[in-house]
A and B are shown apart, each in its own frame.
Chain A
Amino acid sequence: MPLIIKNNQVIEDSWHLLQADCSLADALAQPQPIIVPFTLWQNHAVELKQLTKLGVWLDSHEAIEEIVEDLPLFSLVALNFPTFTDGRHFSSARLLRERYAYSGEIRAIGDVLRDQLFFMQRCGFDAYAVRADRCPHDALLSLTEFSICYQSAVDCPEPLFRRRVLKSA
């Protein structure tokens, strides 16, 4: 089984990620649980809802608003990074957690490299499928590179300026 980082640990991944062009028949033939591409979900929600545990993945141009209604059905939302320089899904993850109160797994997939992880963690990701040619154990180290951050984000909603005041009060 491939390894992923989940909740700050390297573990074996039980999920099966389906390709963008996967058909419904192919999907249902795969070992469960599966992460289906958003378009498959759009076209076959009725059939896919039958699965007890389901994940969906969005490409970087696909907006999370499209799945907001269906969020309770997903145990996992995976967000794809076609390249490591694409930051659109940093916003998607924050919206999922902060606006839509999604509490399932948010997983980074695609061109996921060590040096994005700290930012991803702050934005609400809790799982990282580090690119297959890279070592997830190495990547894990990046999650603790900074001990202090200025801004409000998912990992720490109070910005530093509010905590500074508390401390000095």
Chain B
Amino acid sequence: MYLYDHYDQQIVNERVAQFRDQTRRYFAGELTEDEFLPLRLQNGLYVQRHAPMLRIAVPYGLLSSTQLRMLAHITRKYDKGYAHVTTRTNMQLNWPKLEQVPDILQDLASVQMHAIQTSGNCIRNTTTDQFAGVARDELVDPRPWCELIRQWSTFHPEFARLPRKFKIAVNGCVNDRAAIEVHDIGLEAVRNSDGELGFRVLVGGGLGRTPMLASVINEFMPWPHLLSYLEAILRVYNRFGRRDNKFKARIKILVKALTPEGFAKKVDEEWQHLKDGPSTLTDAEVQRVSQHFTAPDYQSLSDVPELLAEQDAQHPGFARWRSRNTTAHKQPGYVAVTLSLKKTGVPTGDVSESQLDAIADLADRYSYSEARNTHEQNIVLADVEQTKLLQLWLEIRELGFATPNIGLLSDIICCPGGDFCALANAKSIPVAEAIQQRFADLDYLFDIGDLDLNISGCMNACGHHHVGHIGILGVDKKGEEFYQVSLGGNSGRNASLGSILGPSFAQDTMPDVINKIIDVYIEQRTAEEQFIDTYQRIGAQPFKERVYAPHH
């Protein structure tokens, strides 16, 4: 992974000093609440229901074991002994004290971490595929490009006060696990007919109150121009994006107003001035950054299907886990393992200090000392030897990471919701838990198969409900918490947004509602269909009829 040189380290150190002084001035009354707001937000600090919430940046999800141990230490020293993996692959603390945040930042800086731009109206953490560098369907490793974008966007002076938040995702695979179609900018690394590397550029996707899929504005931007082209997009947005209404301030509204063609033209005009300027990337820089993302020192191994089949036969639980929680690897003899943070009874994405330490140890012993947060709120060990898989499974069963549910209904994406978040209209964690309890039977879960169920506690959509095959949105009706259900969302390639099924439901009926939806699917599916396929074939009507059928 990327290692800081003295420049990177100095920037982060100077940030700690800057934020320490900003915090001091706030407590001294030299900064008002309103003035401190954008400063603390751009440092990931929200004021929540119970305490400030600190969002720590995990660039494109990558963590070293050293960083994991520091996070464990920080949750012990400054918080209540746990952290939360967010849908932007960051780590969130729910109970820090404002006056201690500068000390937390200082501890983070000691392991090349920070909380820069994890919130606020600026360019946020760039995300990518959790299997970057190891996925079999990968064409281009997106990580060096993510790091180049991270550096370019860190304290970018022109884009420090944007109309609204701004999210970039990069994909380099055949499949899209980075959900680039629902980002402000989605970048797909591609090669042209001459084999040259470039980026297909999508703009104007996003969830929130007005969900939209991104439009392609450039089919192929050669790599040297990546940063100048991003700069042109951001400049057009910074200058012409709406600032009069917070809910119309995302770039998607501007793209829609100008039409994608009109927006693309404006960007191109801007870019003509920036093209070949000093921001043009050099081969030397791309190589400098790329050398941090070369393959680890793999042993020359072969795949061991016979051994694994034998182990499957001996340990049905292992077989079940392996079928869901492991992913094929580029390198023969290796496999990527997803640690499930979706055990029933534990809030989605939460991880305790002892678990963080344990993951660090696992990373050291099994996966070249690295781990990855996923936007589905799990953690990946990307480089595990197949012959050590059984041993790893035995260990993580004890640690609570072996729930065999990756990609299944109980692998729910869920925001912190009304239990923690001041913005939420409704709680989301208890709904997730009630559904997980209802679908606790593993045979049944496996029979249902691939299904993305996403829950957001408000229309800001941190739980990505629009792109869940089943999406659940918490709404407030006259002071009571209700839940709206949508079906048919999909965050992968050819993404789609879910359609609202109908009137919302009371919290205690939600497991029944989901049950009825699943029943319709089970009854109607053909042998090869997953939930989303059946939905696309039969449409919403059969689900509506079942869910809203009058009681007998």
Contact = CB atoms under 8 A, between A and B. Distances in A.
Interface of A: 63, 84-88, 90-92, 94, 99, 113, 115-116, 118-123, 138, 145-153, 157-162, 164-165
Given A85-B121, A158-B278, A162-B282, A90 B7 contact: no
A61 to B, nearest CB: 9
Contact of A150 (B11, B17, B158, B161): B11
B14 A146 contact: yes
Contacts of A113: 35
Given A84-B35, A87-B162, A115-B39, A152 B10 contact: no
Interface string B277-290: 11101101100100
Given A86-B161, A147-B10, A149-B11, 13 more contacts: A84-B161, A90-B157, A91-B239, A116-B161, A145-B18, A146-B15, A150-B151, A150-B154, A152-B278, A160-B7, A160-B151, A162-B278, A165-B285
B152 A87 contact: no
29 contacts: A84-B38, A87-B158, A87-B159, A87-B162, A90-B157, A90-B159, A90-B161, A90-B238, A91-B239, A92-B239, A113-B35, A119-B155, A119-B161, A120-B157, A122-B157, A122-B158, A145-B14, A146-B11, A146-B15, A148-B10, A149-B11, A150-B11, A150-B151, A151-B279, A152-B277, A159-B278, A161-B285, A164-B5, A165-B282
B445 interface: no
B320 interface: no
Contacts of A121: 157
A151 B156 contact: yes
A113 B25 CA distance: 13
B273 interface: yes
Interface residues of B, number: 39
B534 interface: no
A87 B151 contact: no
B274 to A, nearest CB: 9
A150 B227 CA distance: 12
A63 B266 CA distance: 15
A116 B186 CA distance: 29
Nearest to B238: A91
B10 A85 contact: no
B282 A161 contact: yes
A150 B238 contact: no
A149 B155 contact: yes
Task: From B7, B30, B238, B273, name the one whose CB has the most chain A CB atoms within 10 angstroms.
Answer: B7
A87 B161 contact: yes
A88 B239 contact: yes
Contacts of B273: 99
Interface string B281-308: 1101100100000000000000000000
Contacts of B484: none
Contact of A159 (B5, B239, B279): B279
Interface of B: 5, 7, 10-11, 14-15, 17-18, 22, 30-31, 35, 38-39, 121, 151-152, 154-162, 235, 238-239, 243, 273, 277-279, 281-282, 284-285, 288
A164 to B, nearest CB: 7
A150 B152 contact: yes
Contacts of B14: 145-148
A90 B239 CA distance: 9
Given A150-B151, A160-B151, A85 B278 contact: no
Contacts of B152: 150-151, 159
A88 B238 contact: yes
A148 B11 contact: yes
Nearest to A166: B284
Nearest to B241: A88
Contact of B160 (A119, A161, A162, A165): A119
Nearest to A115: B39
Contacts of A146: 11, 14-15, 18, 155
B278 A90 contact: no
B278 A165 contact: no
Contacts of A160: 7, 151
B161 A123 contact: no
B238 A161 contact: no
Contacts of A145: 14, 17-18
B278 A164 contact: no
Nearest to A113: B35
Contacts of A148: 7, 10-11, 14
